[in-house]
Structures are given as structure tokens and as C-alpha cells.
Chains A and B, each alone.
Chain A
């Protein structure tokens, strides 16, 4: 058993990362310079990085340690949350190394193993965190080669973990194949599937809001809640060459399968018995298992709306239609907007629909969850008007992170008239400082062995099982649901509004 450092015991309430070497596959990609290295640097700036931590960038391009460090320094100056300190960078960057190899080249992995042993001899400690930040088609290649040279097997008393970036498969079959490959290479407990939404403070706060405040949980059920809306609006299209990837994925796979379903799980889950990783993930996965299946393509058509934007105006600028965007096929049948009506068949949520929507080229960027409570049973005030007295609890995920509660209040004056007002909590106003980047928290947790904020195999597969029903109806059925259109800069297709109107509801104005 490893000895415990007595001096660390009362210093931190969060997971403490262990000394290790982080190997980033695909290190010349965007994520490394924009997110991963700034995240590690900021962890160091907070004094939480193990002193002997080493970082090895594994990629195909020709670089030296020095040129790699220099490139990363430029990017860190630009993207570091806490700015850039030359002295700290100088110490931090001495532990960054570059390893050039093709992903399929076994000999490259043998050289990597030698390098890692050398770094261990320099104090890295023997633990390894393999971060797969490559294009998804290389995930299994890298896993296979790691196993081929035995790097997946931890040294005695040490650990080897793998972090896998999204997309985790493109459907259930590919996700299962990737999971099988991952589980043949690493233990499930050592496999960390990243969903960066779970690293966001606002997502983590959903559980705190629900389970640390006694006033919410008693009304968090079908008796008091009418419906829930989860909206993710983006005011961008396919800028920066994103079209190539996006047109193969679509927003259902790109955002709903992972991020939005994670939010559904956090809102709908039962209280976990404890805060252990599996305690929480057990409850989350139960929500996915209770999602009502679609009977056929017609059922999908009734509950899911897909659409593409046509030319319009966003933020005062002309925007092309989806099919006219860079790297998008002119006859593309990929959705840039999707709205879903989800039913959860369990005691708590019987009869409470969850409406999800995600779209590109909408008027503004915003992600939020709104919990719409039922109206008071007997309307005493504002009778005969169209005013909706229902309370709405809004959890703003981004931007302007916070929580607000819509309540009715008497309008000052002699008559008894009421108006909606907001009780508002803003992170920025209350806490007065920026939250850490999601990747900082997630990297810390991966190094500390805390998998709570990472997706488990059954979670990922269950989410794909649900999403595949829709994808199959869209692409493989004889009568596929139609692809609707909306002008760029509008709030989506009319059919999406009609889906809610049929239930006597409306989308919340973001």
C-alpha cells in the first residue's frame, strides 16, 4: 500500500492529481494548444500540478521538443485563463516533450515506451495518462498499438488510464466496437470518456441545486412540473472549415447524443446514494433506460423535428444557407437543427415531456435548462387574461451562467394585478470571478482517478441506442420524416413551434 503524504490531508477538498506522464495523441491538433496545455498550465498556476508531471505530445508532424514548446507557448499566451507567466512557463514547459510517429507505426510506440521509461527515471513516477485527441478514426488504431507494446498494462503499483475525446462512435455499433477495443486495452475503471459539458460549473451545479436545497426536491416531479425545456442555440454556421466534420455528424450526433442527454440525465436522475462515480452514474444511466422508445418512423416524425437553415441574416450579417456552406454537400440531408419531445417512463416523470432543441445560425448563443412548473390550481389573480402565472426555474449553462426563478408579483397600485418578475442569481455577480475551464477540472479528475464527470460505457451505449432510432428513421426508413427549413437568424422551423403548440406549450424565448 502506498504511503500517504500527511501534509496534504487538510489542504484540499478536491481530488489531488497523482504524479504521472500525460501522453497526448494528436498533439499537433487544435485541442492541445487551445485547451489541454492551457488547462495543465492553469492547474500548475493554481499549484495543483504534481511537480514531476511530464507531458508527451505524440503526433505525425516533424518537430523538436523546443519547437513544440515554442508553439505551445504562443498558444498559451493567447488562451490561458490566468494569463501567462514567463517564469512559471519556463518550469512547466521543461516537462513537455515531443514524440514524432505515425499512429499505425508499432516501432513509434516502442520508442514511446522507451521515452516513458526514461521520464520515469527522471521522476515521472510511472503512472500514465493516455489522451486520445486524434481524429476518431485513429482511436482504435492507437489503442491497438498501445496494447501491442504493453503500454496499456500499468507497472506494479502504478496506473495506466486512457482519456477518449468525443465523438465516441457515430452510432451504437461503432460505439460498441470502440468500447470493446477500449475495454480490451484498458479496464473500464481506467477509461475516461470526456464530455466537456460535465466539466462546466453550471452542469455540476445542477445536482447541488437539486440535492443541497430542500425546497426543490419535493416539487421536482410530475405533480408540480409541467414540462422541461433544454435549449442549445448557436449563432454560428460552418465557419472555419467545420462543415467537413459537421455534415457527416449533424447536431443530433454532435450535441444531443452527448451534451444534451447528459443535461437530461442530471435534471431527471434520482438522488444517488452517495457521491461516488458509480453511485452517480448508476442513477444517470437509469434515466436513459427509461426514455420512451419510438415505435416507427411516423412516431419519430411526430416527436422529432429536423431542419436546415436557408440564407438569412445573423447578427446583422448575411448568412448563407446550410447547403451553400463551405464543405457541405449541395444535396446534404444532415440536420443543422433538431427539436425533440422526450418522454421518461418512470414514476417521477410520467406525463412530463422534456423538449430539447439545438440549432445552428439561431439569433444568439445560449444554452439553458428551463423547468416549467404547473399553474396554480385556482387562478385568483389576472383572471380572464392570457398571462401565464406558471413559475419557471431557469438554469443558464452558458453564457451568463446562473439560475433564475420566475414568480408572480403584485404590480404596485390600488388594483390587484400581478406581473412576472425574476429572482436572479448570476455566477459573475455573486462569485465575482471566472470559473475554471472545464478541461482543467476534467484533467485534474482524470489524474486523480475520479471518473464522476466522465461517461461510462453503458451511458454512452444507452444514449446511442436512443439516438439510433431517430437516425434510422431519418436515413433508413422508406418514409423518412421530412427535412424542414428555417431562415438563418430565426428561432428554427415553424414545425418545431407546432410540436409544442400541439401540447399547449411554447418554446421559451431565450
Chain B
């Protein structure tokens, strides 16, 4: 996992007066699932499309397995598989034809087995427009991996999928990763990014606002850890009661919720206090800031790399 497969250096993309991407740099290692997060207009699509060879950079450099995507499209073609957010297929094409069509252009034998694998066995003769959104997504993914590319770009892969399809797709992503495929995942789904990505970059206004593993990102924010406590008695009911590292607390239902910057001393002090007051602890929950909390924090306050 230490060989950079994708290298982005000071990459810029400009549309007229709009600077869509403003000098970002990052690397993706072989076998990683690298997540790109960001609100709409942050520069995710421009970055992805430039790596896919659809757009030329206006500054900096992009390298994918030593191939320049903008200037070596023929070499790039078999190195990448792309599942686009939009259909990318003619309405009247059926699944067998689609598999045959794309495999022919990649010079590989059609992988009809992937249609079976993706639960599309019964739909082989069905035209594309007759498929459900989930089936269209699964077909898009089957076509993207049919030529066995070392790098896979997934743009909102689970949007519109039901729970079972989503789990199946995540399992497949893990399998591909285990087989050495590098995956670039653009998503708005924080739970998906948290669960699947080895590392993440959060883009904001064309810059990388934060990067790291999901755990690193959630740990480095200014967000508080929530400690929710419920006791049998009223030992925590005094509003002037204070615990170490707690910046504020609220009461909700039968719980007192403490917002702590350092949960160790806070939890320890709460337990001691309850014990001293001869009260009984009924429930104690610790909730770390989620990736979604961190994302919201970054996108509302702006972040720096």
C-alpha cells in the first residue's frame, strides 16, 4: 500500500472566471479506496473528470500509473474503469449488448458472468431504460470492471440503491480492493465514506480542506464528544454541577448530555460523582463526533489542509 498510483500536483481547473480547482495536491496508493468528499461545486467532478481524461488541467500535473490522462487517452483507456453518475448508455441497448459493446472497444472477452454476479441475470435482454435505478447502477459498475482495470472511479455508486444492493456493492468494492484495485470514490454519503474509504480528502471551494483517514479526520476536529448519562436518582440534576473538560451540558428526556473535549477525565469524574452521591448509574453512552459532524464543521467554517 505504499506505491503512489495516482499523483496530483498543484492541479488547477478554470472555467472562464471560475476557478473550480485551485492548486490541489494528493496521492493515492495502490489498493486504496480514496474518498473525495465535498459539497456541490467544490471541485470533485472537475478533479475526477480530469483524472478520467475527460478534461485537460489548466495548471499542475496529473499522473495515473505514469500516464498523463489528458495527453495519453489510448494508454489510459484500459487502466481505468468509470461508473458515471449519469446513465452513459443508450436507452435501447440491452444488457448483453452493452457488455459486448464495451468489452469490444476494450479488446476483451465479454464478461457476461458479471451480469449474473450483479443480480442482473434475468435482465439480460431488457433494454436499459426499463431497468430500475439500482439495476442501472449495478450495470454501470459491471461494465466499469469488465476489462479488469487497476483503477476504478465510482461517482455516487450507491445513490438510489436499496439496502441489499448497497451491501452487495460494498462487498464487491472490498473484494476489488483486496484484489489490488485502487478505487476513487466520490460520494455525499458520509456513512459510506466512513465505512469504505482508506483515506479521504474533503474539497471546499477548489481546495483540499482536510485529508486523512476517517478516524484522523473525526479526531482532529474541534467537535465535542457527547457523554449521555442516566441515573436512578437525581445526583446529576444540579445545573451548576461541573466536570473536567466539559464545556456545556443539557438535559434531554431522562439523560444529561455533557459535551466534552477530553472524555477520559469527564467520564471518570461523572462515575466518581455518582458513586459518591450513592446514586446508581443506569446508562452511559459516549458518542464521538461523526464524519458527518466533521464534514459539516469544515464546510461551514472552512478548513485548511
Question: Is B truly associated with A?
Answer: no
Interface residues, chain B, CB within 8 Å of chain A?
A: none
Interface residues, chain A, CB within 8 Å of chain B?
A: none
